Chains A and B, each alone.
Chain A
Amino acid sequence: MSAQELLAILPLLIISAGIVILLLQVSFWRGHRGALATTILTLLLAIISCFWVTGNLLGDVSSIQVTALLLVDHTSLFFCLLLFLTAVAISIMGFNYLRLRCDPRGVSASYPEEFYILLLLAMLGASTLIFANHFATFFLGLELISLALYPMLGFAVTGEISPKSEQLQSLESAIKYLILSALSTALGLFGIALIYSASGSLDFNAIASRMTELSQSSTLFATGITLLLISVAFKLSLVPFHIWTPDVYQGAPTPTTALIATVGKGAVIGFLLRFFNTLDLFGSEVLIDMLAIAAIASMLVGNLLALMQANIKRLLAYSSISHIGYLIVAFLIGKSTFGTEAVIYYLVAYIVTTLGGFAVVGLVADANEENMLSGKHPQEFLIDAKNPYHREFYRGLLWRSPWLASCFAAMLLSLAGIPLTIGFIGKFYVFTAGVEGQMWILLGGVVVGSALGLFYYLRLLLIMVQRNETAETNSNGTLVIATSGQFLIATLTGALLLFGIFPQILINWINAL
């Protein structure tokens, strides 16, 4: 392993070092703010190192192979950068979530610091997955994300101060994810074994060199790829492997939900892009048809089921199912620079808006929780209007907290794909990709899905602008959100509008990397 190779995986090394430092730091000196600072510092260093590595990749060296396991190139570095930025946002959300629910002095054995260690572990897994060029690293990365996610999903259980119902739901979501994720991993592993037996190799490049004979003759290979795709589809929660999504999203602590919805999916998309491009699987009609069916099903089922949801986290869960469906449409147009660009742009749009949506929901719930803990109002989860995750809680929010509601409205409009937001440009990319690939049925699915989607986004939006019928404006009056949270939401909304109005900036970045 040469020095150049070591430098190429600098982001991975920095994250690993950060994990070790954080472990040591926590064992000597517990402190919530300290853990947060180390995490953010690590992530920022990793982000800077991404830029640095990109700088080294200029010229004729477009990618660096690091042993047989990892491959660092422009696209994967962009994905890393995106996910690290996401992780910074999630750690801020996590800080606000844990600040209320964990005892700061650690008397009742509820420590918040582990959250950050697990977060960094998940990030290590995600970046490994993105750089993976070998099934060993693929599996390592995927499992690292999952293993870090199980305790994070159940994190509310450790916070003694969290309400009982929250703890139970969190536990439920962790166990559901554990069981189903283990099942999907088993299928994926079996798929890898079949691919290995057919091709005799675990290295993507080596498999790619034998693709012509494999794709024509070997049913073993086809079965293996299919099983692998099922495992990936589970992580992406594509229909029909979406069953876990709403329950897990609803029960988990909101920062974890945001993590699973953004990093968990972004990393898998990054892997999928590389895998399909290296093996040139876009030529395989059966695979493309399977993905197309899954995409249409995701768009329709996701949107249809979201119509029924009154819980905002469940609603966002179903909406994320349908958004991955749209993304797959862009993915399907195949091995072209435009296809990759469309996928990346849509993914950025998806991550920014989903993160923003969950940030608002989480911070609103935190603000409500803070009011409750300080004894301002009693805990009444039975009444819809008092449950911070219920639609009714948001009634008239625009008049109570205008800026917060405006930001949330921007997120919703972006999810619905309305101009001035990044979501619209993302949808435009999907449409352009669809027209270029002449996939009319898929485009029809996008149109129907979007029309259905409008209904529930608008319903939520209109609830926010409704004049309150009841006179009790004071009872859940202005929501005061922590300053770091305000900053986070403002940044996300700013990015959403900036890239929505001047998309060329982001397009240039995508193409430069």
Chain B
Amino acid sequence: MVALPEPDAEILAARDEILNDLKRLIAAPDGVIDHPDEIKPYETDALTAYRQTPLGVVLPETTVEVAAVMKYCHERGVKVVARGAGTSLAGGALPMADAIVIGVSKMIDILDVDYDNRTITLQPGVTNLGVTDIVSPDKFFYAPDPSSQLACTIAGNIGMNSGGAHCLKYGVTSNNLMGVEMVTTAGDIVRLGGKHLDAGGLDLLGLITGSEGTLGMVTEATLRILHSPEGARPILYGFETSAVAGECVDAIISSGIIPVAIEFMDKPAIHATERFAHAGYPLDVEALLIIEVEGSNDEIDTMLGRIQKIAADFKPAYERVAKSAAESLAIWKGRKSAFGAIGRISPDYFCMDGTIPTGKLPEALDRISSICDSYGFEVANIFHAGDGNLHPLILYNANETGETERAEECGGDILKLCVELGGCLTGEHGVGVEKRDLMVEQFTPAELDLQRRIKRVFDPKYLMNPHKVFPLVDNPGLAGPILSPVQMEAGE
């Protein structure tokens, strides 16, 4: 288990005083949660292996309230963990015993819908799917589509730079986020970007996207919305080996065709999801690809024809084009409910999130399978194959002594493999607490220190989600190598 630091005894002892102070800053009578029963849902997120009870939970409704709370916490030295819907698979929203949680569940106003500029501006507690729901009557949509989109919030999407199945074509959150209003740790309200297409000055918007709530708190977001395509249709392919499926993905992309999505599932994942969603997936193949294309009916036919011609060279054991909207929906329902489906066949699972260059897909599959074998765990693989984002799900049972630790170790080995193959530790879930100590696999001490010093610029007292993302060290971001010229000459 990843170690959590000892809580600050002074802050714990001052809990009542702090919560009373916070109640004065929030207008709504139920805006500060302090009863243990009501705090309970905030003890963990979707990485349920970790739990901590925070001091209390604050649910502001306005930017001004967030600013007042942030300013108070900054001055009082209270740690802050920002929370969207708590769907993080990496422990990004895991609180600390000596921290308050600021939740965005009451910040759900839509402030502006502007089709001429293709933007929507809203408070960040709106759910991901909620954005599309608002603009879909006018045939618009918001592109990033994480599997948790029914529940997860825009706040969390920005914090983790969330992706989804369709980001092969449309990009991840950072590519679809045009501006934010943000409260700094000192309580200043700043704006980054807006309805214009690039921002002036340093790209602070790019820096805070994916910063996992460690640099400030977003209180308003302006998102790119797009007109929906005329239609979309998936095609399913089954292959006798995962390696051949990987080669087929490679061949399609090499040919110059970039579908909207290319999703991969291996046999255990196919079986689990089929039992759950009845999508009509073939059960006798080792690997399944869902490839989706968009456009008019004719364009879709033509594009699928080109893909079919390429795929034929790889002798797929199964091929089926969705023939109706209902069939398409069922195919995607299966994929999007995959994590839930796995949850039904295994008491517990860890969902990994590494990314690799796509050409390494067959090698990665082979070696993931060996790693899991060596630990004696079953693994189900669900990948965004088009962009090399892997989600191996390690199946374990937390009630067996020591199994959680071994499953974590197994996951660590898989992520190290991703780095070794030229990829990274996390594609869209974030580092959180889960992968914090693996950061040394991807970054040099100098690079990690630079990142901690960047955090210090935004958060001089190191209060925002302080035990996440970077391995714990004493005085993070203060012990860095800022050398005098004389020291540099001496080669220190």
Partners in one complex: no
